[in-house]
Amino acid sequence: MRVFCILYVVSLIFSVNVAADTVEPRYDGEWWLTLTEDEKLAFYEGFDDCYVTDVKNGYSPDKTYALERNKITKYYLDNPGDQSEYIYKIIIKLENENPRNLHLMKERHQGYDGELWRMYIDSDHLAFVRGYIDCRVTYLHSTISKPIKYYVGSISSWYGIVLTDPGEINEKTGGDKIGDVLVRLLEDKAKVEDPSSPKKWWQKIFWRNDK
């Protein structure tokens, strides 16, 4: 009986930890102000990469991402009553207040590929994916079926990147765009194999061709 009770408590604690790990924050001003400057930048970059490439078909005004990040922070600090507003609404609000000429980007997804992913730390990975997914859910009604960390880990696996050795990258996939990899995951056209598979760890994610 004692053993049963101990096992029950352990399983309960594990369940609570797993549930807490899968609950996403509300992407609003209160959450934004808790982020580091790098996390804010990564979130904005992820959101903007999706918005420009997937929503606006490659059209974007000239912008400096650090300045755009700072504008969002300044808005929330100057307007504490709006800190419950979603970040995407403030991004669009600030853009509409200062409209700029659009031009077609020369490179799809710009430089957001495995090399950039390798430069990010794990918290930046999370922020970028959250920004990208926030845009996809808001404007393209994408469905999120797995925890954010699943997508982060799968992207790293696709590029052959591990946190213990961020200098290594799979040369065959390193040039693939983060957004393309993430969208394939969201559309369930990629899957992660069983970690016990004898294959190399950079081969544990592969595209399915049945969709």
How far apart are alpha carbons 42 and 80 in whole angstroms?
Answer: 23
- Please give the share of the chain, as a percent, with pLDDT higher than 90: 53
How far apart are alpha carbons 149 and 123 in whole angstroms?
Answer: 10
Give 178-187 pLDDT, tens digit per residue.
999 999 999 8
- Extract the tokens encoding 34: 């808790």
pLDDT computed for residue 187 by the predictor: 86
Give 127-139 pLDDT, tens digit per residue.
999 999 999 999 9
Helix (H), strand (E) at residue 166: none
Is 0.85 surpassed by the pTM of this model? no
Q: Which residue has the higher pLDDT, 165 or 96?
A: 96
Q: What is the mean pLDDT of residues 140-150?
A: 91
Given pLDDT bands bounded at 50, 70 and 90, which one contains residue 193?
A: very low
Give 73-101 pLDDT, tens digit per residue.
999 999 999 999 999 999 999 988 987 78
pLDDT computed for residue 100 by the predictor: 77
Q: What is the mean pLDDT of residues 158-182?
A: 86
**50: number of Cβ within 10 Å:** 27
Pairing of strands 190-192, 205-207: antiparallel
Q: Which residue has the higher pLDDT, 210 or 140?
A: 140
How far apart are alpha carbons 172 and 136 in whole angstroms?
Answer: 27
pLDDT computed for residue 10 by the predictor: 33
Give 6-17 pLDDT, tens digit per residue.
333 333 333 333
Helix (H), strand (E) at residue 125: helix 122-140
pLDDT computed for residue 190 by the predictor: 54
Residues in Cβ contact with 135 at an 8 Å cutoff, skipping those fewer than 6 apart: 46, 47, 50, 51, 54, 55, 88
Domain boundaries, the chain: 29-207
How far apart are alpha carbons 50 and 183 in whole angstroms?
Answer: 10
Q: Give one DSSP letter per residue of 26-53, joined into a string.
A: P-BHHHHTTS-HHHHHHHHHHHHHHIII
Beta-ladder partners of 192: 205
Beta-ladder partners of 4: none
Q: What is the mean pLDDT of the chain?
A: 80
